[in-house]
Amino acid sequence: MVTITINGKVVQAREGEMLLAVCKREGIDIPALCHHDAVEPFGACRLCMVEITKDEWNGWRNYVTSCLYPVEEGLIVQTHSPKVIELRRTVLDLQLARCPNSPELQKLAAEHGVNSTQYEIVPDGDNCILCGLCTRVCARLGFHAIATVGRGHHKEVAPPLKEAPPDCVGCLSCVQVCPTNNITYEDKGNVRTIWGKKFELLRCSKTGKATITKAFAEALSTRCDIPIDYFDVSDDEHRRQLALKMGSLADWAPKEQS
Amino acid sequence: MKARLVVTPNLCTGCRTCELACAFAHSINRKPGRSRIYPLPGGSHEMWTPVVCLQCEDPACMKSCLVDALSRNEETGAIVLDQDKCVKCMACVAACPFGCSLYDAQHDLVVKCDLCDGDPVCAHFCPTRALEFKPIAPIRRKATG
């Protein structure tokens, strides 16, 4: 265990734990767009910057991304000092210049007092802040279907060669984790379209409800050792079957008086 | 495992108090969540049976989770979903053979019974004791092979 000071409060933390996780546990609200507990920290959005110093640093201060900074003994952290807030405002200002139409980003920026960007707006931009969370989650799930391609101004999230990705199974995890809701998909009839690839939805024969795609069910079945027939019916039908089974197993006969 | 949530279907009257208690116990920002327990008509007599996560020994939900968001709480025996780790891929919802991993559309979360950290609210509210949280002896198995 190490002892650190966050905003004047002495806090105990495990060795190797990241600053952001400790702050979150202490109930301190630090904005972060690219952070997700399922994947390793990446430090892309730069919003979780905090000010750190130590007694022996003779007044020297450093500004670090808290999601990537492991705690050290005697660390003194300021999460909302004027300099840190100014840094966050600048980052939000720059992100707003890239994605001026993102409602999520507009809301977060407005909370920090940034109502419009003072930089030149990127022409023909989308709502992607290039945090790479979708690509990291995709890799964490083991599919590696999308990645960031190109460099500098041409960098974007795309499948390999910008063609329909062969490894994608249409699980929609990238859609779910995207902080700015930039990834789009379409469920039409029995077909799901995402990243330019079409998937067949696995529809329950009894209730007609579709939860996942056929490709995802097959991938789960082979990788996680789950019988493929578990996916045949929806959760509603599974519950109904369990109720029937439990009802028939119950002891309905009246107890004999002894 | 100290105790288990024991369901006695022939005591259930289908009053759905457990469902209400569960939904309110899992409220977020004063909005009730989706109930993790489902009283459904079942059995030969079409009587009601509360359907709730069985906390399987070899759980399909845990096996299907590709980001290890599901883990077993050794203290209560419940399989608990870490909401911060969940990427909402719906693998567990589709994989559970009992349909007890659920998608809560109101809060946009995947939810499942967590035995309320070892004190299930549904068992407290069940008026007929069809739901009871009580210690049970471990099931003895025949030696295999």
pLDDT at A252: 58
B97/A contact by beta carbon, under 8 A? yes
Residue A42 has pLDDT above 50, yes or no: yes
pLDDT at A254: 52
Nearest residue of B to residue A204, measured between CA atoms: B94
Question: Under a CB-based contact definition with an 8 Å cutoff, are residues A157 and A147 in contact?
Answer: yes
pLDDT at A246: 81
A254/B contact by beta carbon, under 8 A? no
Place of tokens 């309905």: A252
Is residue B35 one of the residues assigned to a domain? Answer: yes
Q: What percent of chain A has pLDDT over 70?
A: 97
Please name the member of A172, A235, A249 whose beta carbon is closest to the beta carbon of B93: A235
CATH number, domain at A73? 3.10.20.740
Q: A230 and B41 in contact by Cβ < 8 A?
A: no
The CA distance from B29 to B107, in Å, is 10
pLDDT at A11: 93
Residue numbers of the domain that contains A25: 2-111
Residue numbers of the domain that contains B94: 4-134
B41/A contact by beta carbon, under 8 A? yes
Q: Count CA atoms within 13 Å of residue A222 on its CB side.
A: 6
> Which residue in B111, B16, B7, B20 sits closest to A235, CA to CA?
B111
pLDDT at A258: 45
CA distances from A228 to A16, B60, B90, B97 (A): 40, 11, 15, 11
Is residue A253 one of the residues assigned to a domain? Answer: no
What's the mean pLDDT in A76-105? 93
Q: What is the pLDDT of residues B59-73, one digit of tens each?
A: 999 999 999 999 998
Is residue A164 one of the residues assigned to a domain? Answer: yes
Q: A239 and B98 in contact by Cβ < 8 A?
A: yes
* Set of chain A residues whose Cβ sits within 8 Å of the Cβ of B91: 171, 212, 216, 220
A240 in the same domain as A154? yes
Is residue A126 one of the residues assigned to a domain? Answer: no
Nearest residue of A to residue B8, measured between CA atoms: A250
The CA distance from A34 to A48, in Å, is 10
> Which residue in B47, B65, B106, B75 sits closest to A252, CA to CA?
B47
The helix (H) or strand (E) run that includes residue A149 is strand A147-149
The CA distance from A35 to A66, in Å, is 11
The CA distance from A251 to B49, in Å, is 12
Nearest residue of B to residue A252, measured between CA atoms: B10
Provide the domain count of chain A. Answer: 2
ipTM: 0.86
Contacts of A236 (CB under 8 A, 6+ apart): A204, A207, A209, B99
What's the mean pLDDT in A162-191? 92
Provide the domain count of chain B. Answer: 1
Nearest residue of B to residue A255, measured between CA atoms: B10
A245/chain B closest Cα distance in angstroms: 7
Place of tokens 């003895």: B140
B90/A contact by beta carbon, under 8 A? yes
Question: Under a CB-based contact definition with an 8 Å cutoff, are residues B69 and B85 in contact?
Answer: yes
**DSSP secondary structure letters along A50-69:** EEEE-GGGTT--EEEEGGG-
Is residue B80 one of the residues assigned to a domain? Answer: yes
Residue B74 has pLDDT above 90, yes or no: no
B71/chain A closest Cα distance in angstroms: 13
Is residue A161 one of the residues assigned to a domain? Answer: yes
Nearest residue of B to residue A245, measured between CA atoms: B43
pLDDT confidence of B13, banded at 50, 70, 90?
confident
A144/B contact by beta carbon, under 8 A? no
Q: What percent of chain B has pLDDT over 90?
A: 58
What's the mean pLDDT in A156-179? 92
A137 in the same domain as A240? yes
pLDDT confidence of B44, banded at 50, 70, 90?
low
A238/B contact by beta carbon, under 8 A? yes
Is residue B79 one of the residues assigned to a domain? Answer: yes
pLDDT at B45: 64
pLDDT at A247: 78
Place of tokens 């891929």: B89
Q: What is the pLDDT of residues A211-238, one digit of tens each?
A: 899 999 999 999 998 999 899 888 889 9
What's the mean pLDDT in A92-114? 92
Mean pLDDT (chain A) is 90
A76 in the same domain as A37? yes
A229/chain B closest Cα distance in angstroms: 9
Is residue B89 one of the residues assigned to a domain? Answer: yes
A233/chain B closest Cα distance in angstroms: 8
Residue A218 structure tokens:
């097959």
CA distances from A40 to A133, A196, B67 (A): 10, 28, 11
A151 in the same domain as A103? no
CA distances from A232 to A228, B63, B75 (A): 7, 17, 34
Please name the member of B43, B86, B98 whose beta carbon is closest to the beta carbon of A247: B43
CATH number, domain at B8? 3.30.70.20
Please name the member of A231, A238, A243 whose beta carbon is closest to the beta carbon of B42: A243
CA angle, A97 as apex, A96 and A103 as ends, to 5°? 30
Mean pLDDT (chain B) is 88
pLDDT confidence of B144, banded at 50, 70, 90?
low
pLDDT at A178: 94
Nearest residue of B to residue A201, measured between CA atoms: B94
Is residue B14 one of the residues assigned to a domain? Answer: yes
Q: A38 and B9 in contact by Cβ < 8 A?
A: no
Q: What percent of chain A has pLDDT over 90?
A: 73
Is residue B141 one of the residues assigned to a domain? Answer: no
Is residue A7 one of the residues assigned to a domain? Answer: yes
Q: What is the pLDDT of residues B88-130, one digit of tens each?
A: 999 999 999 999 999 999 999 999 999 998 889 999 999 999 8
CA distances from B58 to A2, B54, B55 (A): 37, 11, 9
Please give the distance of CA B59 from its chain centroid, rounded to a whole number.
Answer: 12
pTM of the model: 0.87
Is residue B24 one of the residues assigned to a domain? Answer: yes
The CA distance from B37 to B20, in Å, is 9
Is residue A95 one of the residues assigned to a domain? Answer: yes
CA distances from B20 to A127, B2, B12, B108 (A): 40, 26, 15, 19
Please name the member of B88, B98, B102 whose beta carbon is closest to the beta carbon of A176: B88
> Which residue in A187, A89, A98, A183 sits closest to A138, CA to CA?
A183
Residue A168 structure tokens:
């994608």
CA distances from B114 to A100, A234, A235, B50, B71 (A): 41, 21, 18, 16, 11
Is residue A124 one of the residues assigned to a domain? Answer: no
CA distances from B107 to A238, B5, B23, B110, B122 (A): 23, 26, 12, 9, 21
Residue A257 has pLDDT above 60, yes or no: no
Q: Helices in A148-188 by DSSP H: which ranges? A: 173-177
Residue A255 has pLDDT above 80, yes or no: no
The CA distance from A151 to A132, in Å, is 13
Q: A220 and B47 in contact by Cβ < 8 A?
A: no
Is residue B72 one of the residues assigned to a domain? Answer: yes
Mutation site for B-interface testing, chosen from A39, A140, A246 by largest number of B Cβ within 10 Å: A246
